[in-house]
Amino acid sequence: MSSDAHGAPHEPGHGLKHPYHLVDPSPWPFVGSIAAFATVLGIVFAAHFHNYILLVIGLLGVLGVMYFWWQDVLKESRAPGVHTTIVRIGLRYGMMMFIASEVMFFVGFFWSYFNFALFPENVANAGPHPTWPPAGVQTFDPFHLPFLNTMILLLSGTTVTWAHHGLLEGNRKALINGLALTVLLGLAFTSLQAIEYSDAPFKFWGGGVYSSVFFLATGFHGFHVIVGTIFLLVCLIRASKDEFTPDRHFGFEAAAWYWHFVDVVWLFLFVCIYWVGAGEIAAH
């Protein structure tokens, strides 16, 4: 088997001369769709009937599909002539589109928040003089745990960039140390947010519209931090096995992009919800 100038594989005499990888038949798209359907249906059963069995099965199925599907992608990446230059560009476009779709999630959450913050009369039972946050709601001190978490995420953005530069320069120690620090900072952020939630001056359940939009936006971001931390942990394991090179490391690059996206979203959350949107500060 030979290849063209783009690294595209082709068989002599067969006329196959394109730079795209035609994947082998895979069961994972079908199995993944079934697992995702079971997860959504499980959420319905959990919310209405407090039956969590289908939800657990669906989540385990989704996690299993993610593991085995990405394992197949890694095997393909190591096969000569499969992940050509054009294919790697396509992977980058795919990650960009995924992050863009995630941005739209948060646009919806911020839209909901500002709908009530700018027009508090839209809150049900707002009374004759509506305010935001609603009367009686005490909010977090933005320069307590939220500010500390902001510093943690900003620092983690520098450590993942350090790891990236270490990889590009062939410095394996900097790559591993930078990734390890980033994972630890991600765990620290999640732990502090759990402490913050446990001390919340408003209720998670039945706390009104402010509680709903606050926990929806910050909780969904917290979920992204957990996913990003796992993503970077996988990259750390792969880096320890020398699976990245300065020329071929899209898996790490995608994780770094995702982590920077998480950083930027938190800055908007901190400024808009914690700082500008602060009302009567709850006592520590």
Q: Do both 104 and 126 map to the same domain? A: yes
Q: What is the DSSP letter of 15?
A: T
Domain enclosing residue 36, as ranges: 22-82
Q: Do both 89 and 203 map to the same domain? A: yes
Q: Do both 90 and 76 map to the same domain? A: no
Note the pLDDT of residue 253. Answer: 95
Q: Do both 241 and 272 map to the same domain? A: yes
pTM of the model: 0.85
Q: Please compute the mean of the pLDDT values over residues 15-20 and round it to a whole number.
A: 66
pLDDT tens sequence across 131-160? 888 888 888 999 999 999 999 999 999 999
49, 82, 115: which is the final residue of a domain? 82
Q: Do both 150 and 199 map to the same domain? A: yes
Higher pLDDT, 13 or 181: 181
For residue 270, what are the contacts with CB-CB under 8 A and spacing of at least 6?
142, 146, 147, 149, 150
Using the predicted structure, report yes or no on whether residue 40 has a pLDDT greater than 50: yes
Residue 253: inside a domain: yes
Q: Do both 71 and 92 map to the same domain? A: no
Q: What is the DSSP letter of 273?
A: I
In whole angstroms, what is the distance from residue 71 CA to residue 77 CA? 10
Number of domains comprising the chain: 2
82, 103, 119: which is the final residue of a domain? 82
Q: Please compute the mean of the pLDDT values over residues 174-184 and round it to a whole number.
A: 97
Note the pLDDT of residue 244. Answer: 93
Q: Do both 131 and 64 map to the same domain? A: no
The CATH number linked to 72 is: 1.10.287.70
Using the predicted structure, report yes or no on whether residue 283 has a pLDDT greater than 70: no
Q: Do both 78 and 88 map to the same domain? A: no
Higher pLDDT, 169 or 280: 169
pLDDT band at 200 (very low <50, low <70, confident <90, very high): confident
Question: What number of other Cβ atoms are within 10 A of residue 27's Cβ?
Answer: 10
Residue 272: inside a domain: yes
Lowest average pLDDT, out of 17-26, 70-79, 180-189, goes to 17-26
Check: CB of residue 259 under 8 Å from CB of residue 156. Answer: yes
In whole angstroms, what is the distance from residue 55 CA to residue 44 CA? 9
pLDDT tens sequence across 89-102? 999 999 999 999 99
pLDDT tens sequence across 229-281? 999 999 999 999 999 999 889 999 999 999 999 999 999 999 999 999 887 77
Higher pLDDT, 9 or 77: 77
pLDDT band at 126 (very low <50, low <70, confident <90, very high): low
Structure tokens at 52: 């969590």
For residue 205, what are the contacts with CB-CB under 8 A and spacing of at least 6?
none
Length, in residues, of the chain = 284
The CATH number linked to 154 is: 1.20.120.80
Using the predicted structure, report yes or no on whether residue 213 has a pLDDT greater than 80: yes
